[in-house]
């Protein structure tokens, strides 16, 4: 008789802690016998309640993780309750199903975000634009021009929102292929496209690692973090103008790592400022399992650190609230994690956990260049 795939099991009295293997047709699935209890000890803690609820609800159809020996495996359990009260059914490997479910959940979340922006964030500036155009039609001269200017400002905000929303959707797609990439080269490219020079500086704390990534998407994430640091740390009027995100071949108005940008404003003479005079310093460095981007700006309130990655969350009057959400999406697309904490100098510190694929850094000529000296007291924050 042909062997059926999966593992045939029985749960005496429907007890989630007990599992008796009746027959195994799935050599790749590690399902230990637990006839007298202890099955829940094999289940990942976060999934135990899901399994209990599925067994209580009726026909069992649940996906969860089992990890008695090292790396957890996703399993799909399907079963039914017999007249005697036992639950009988099959366990299957569920990797493909889990990936499909995750993909569907991501698509649903993006649709919900899109609906939220269309129904609220875009409707507000659209109403402002329409109202001002209607008023301009009733006015003459300077008063009419002023109303049209307000309408144009509202349309510009709509354009920013649409652009960021499209970026959010695009960057959330899983990275299909990666290449070992010198992190420092991506950092320099992102800094060069972060905007016109402001009273800010980028400092690289030592040699950076080689990371497996999609370089273009990582550059977008770093650019967003750099702009976030500058916009919140540089006095009003000195923020950078957008230098674009796709023009890597441009000469770059940003500053090279380890040096300081010319001070912005009418008194700027083009000379680099002293380190302690910069309004904000942005630092990039290596950690044991990834890298960080930190600044010495005002920082982020501990109560707001989870919310900063939510689409639409912003404390800036003209912000769209998508910049850090895009950063998180890009990290997740690489199967990385990103979190925010307080830096050593009081500002925000964003930490990326890349995982076991992180390569050891190799010192470059720029790391040892005396003309590219780091800020005094440099090192990992």
Residue-wise pLDDT for 222-233, tens only, equals 988 998 888 876
Of 131-135, 189-193, 206-210, 302-306, the least confident: 302-306
Q: Rounded distance, CA 84 to CA 101, Å?
A: 33
Q: Quote the CA–CA distance of 318 and 139 in Å, as a whole number.
A: 27
What DSSP string describes 144-186?
Answer: HHHHHHHHHHHHHHHHHHHHHHHHHHHHTSPP---EEEEHHHH
pLDDT greater than 80 at residue 135: yes
pLDDT the model gives residue 264? 40
SS3 state at 293? strand
Cα–Cα dist 5/219, whole Å: 45
Alpha-carbon distance 111 to 51, whole Å?
A: 29
Reported as a pLDDT band with limits 50, 70 and 90, residue 307 is confident
Q: What is the pLDDT of residue 115?
A: 67
Query: What pLDDT digit, counting tens, does each position of 326-372 carry?
Result: 888 889 888 899 999 888 888 899 999 997 666 665 555 555 443 44
Mean pLDDT of 17-46: 78
Percent share of the chain, pLDDT over 90 = 15
pLDDT in tens, 49-73: 889 999 988 789 888 888 756 677 8
Please give the pLDDT value at position 370. Answer: 38
If one compares 295 and 111, the residue with the highest pLDDT of the two is 295
Averaged pLDDT score across all residues of the chain? 74
Each residue's pLDDT tens digit, 214-260: 898 898 889 889 988 888 766 655 555 444 434 333 333 333 434 43
**For residue 188, what pLDDT band results from cuts at 50, 70 and 90?**
very high
Q: Is the dihedral of CA 287, 293, 299, 305 positive or negative?
A: negative
Question: Is pLDDT above 90 for 210?
Answer: yes
Q: Give the pLDDT confidence of 166-181 residue by residue, as tens digits.
A: 766 666 666 777 899 9
Average pLDDT, integer, range 182-209: 84
CB 9 within 8 A of CB 20: yes
Task: Tell me the pLDDT tens digit for each residue of 84-111.
Answer: 899 999 988 876 666 677 667 767 776 6
CA distance 105 to 97: 12
Cα 237 to Cα 34, 233, 300: the distances in Å are: 67, 12, 21
Strands (E), the chain: 7-11, 20-24, 60-66, 73-81, 87-93, 179-182, 200-205, 210-213, 259-260, 280-287, 290-295, 337-342, 348-353
Q: What is the pLDDT of residue 294?
A: 93
pLDDT tier at 1 (50, 70, 90 boundaries)?
Answer: very low
Any idea which of 74-88, 116-130, 201-215, 310-324 has the lowest mean pLDDT? 310-324
């Amino acid at each position: 008789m042909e062997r059926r795939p999966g593992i045939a099991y029985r749960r005496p009295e429907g007890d989630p802690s007990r599992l008796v293997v009746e027959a195994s047709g799935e050599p790749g699935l590690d399902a230990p016998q637990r006839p007298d209890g202890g099955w829940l000890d094999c289940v990942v803690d976060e999934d135990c309640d899901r399994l209990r609820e599925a067994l209580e609800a009726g026909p069992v159809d649940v996906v969860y993780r089992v990890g008695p020996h090292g790396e957890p495996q996703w399993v799909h359990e399907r079963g039914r309750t017999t007249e005697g009260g036992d639950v009988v059914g099959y366990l299957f490997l569920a990797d493909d199903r889990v990936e499909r479910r995750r993909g569907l959940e991501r698509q649903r979340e993006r649709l919900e975000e899109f609906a939220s922006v269309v129904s609220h964030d875009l409707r507000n500036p659209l109403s402002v634009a329409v109202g001002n155009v209607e008023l301009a039609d009733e006015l003459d001269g300077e008063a009419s021009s002023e109303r049209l200017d307000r309408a144009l400002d509202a349309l510009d905000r709509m354009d920013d929102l649409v652009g960021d929303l499209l970026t959010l959707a695009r960057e959330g797609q899983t990275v299909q292929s990666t290449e070992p990439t010198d992190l420092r080269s991506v950092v320099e490219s992102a800094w060069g496209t972060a905007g016109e020079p402001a009273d800010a500086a980028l400092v690289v704390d030592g040699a950076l690692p080689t990371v497996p990534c999609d370089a273009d998407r990582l550059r977008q994430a770093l650019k967003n973090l750099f702009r976030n640091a500058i916009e919140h740390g540089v006095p009003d009027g000195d923020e950078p103008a957008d230098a674009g995100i796709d023009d890597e071949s441009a000469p770059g108005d940003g500053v090279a790592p380890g040096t300081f940008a010319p001070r912005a404003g009418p008194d700027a003479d083009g000379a680099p400022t002293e380190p302690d005079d910069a309004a904000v310093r942005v630092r990039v460095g290596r950690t044991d399992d990834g890298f960080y981007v930190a600044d010495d700006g005002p920082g982020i309130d501990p109560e707001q650190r989870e919310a900063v990655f939510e689409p639409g969350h912003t404390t800036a009057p003209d912000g769209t609230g998508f910049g850090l959400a895009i950063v998180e999406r890009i990290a997740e697309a690489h199967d990385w994690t990103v979190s925010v904490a307080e830096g050593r100098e009081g500002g925000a510190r964003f930490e990326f956990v890349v995982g076991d694929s992180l390569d050891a850094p190799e010192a470059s000529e720029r790391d040892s260049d005396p003309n590219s000296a780091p800020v005094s007291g440099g090192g990992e924050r």
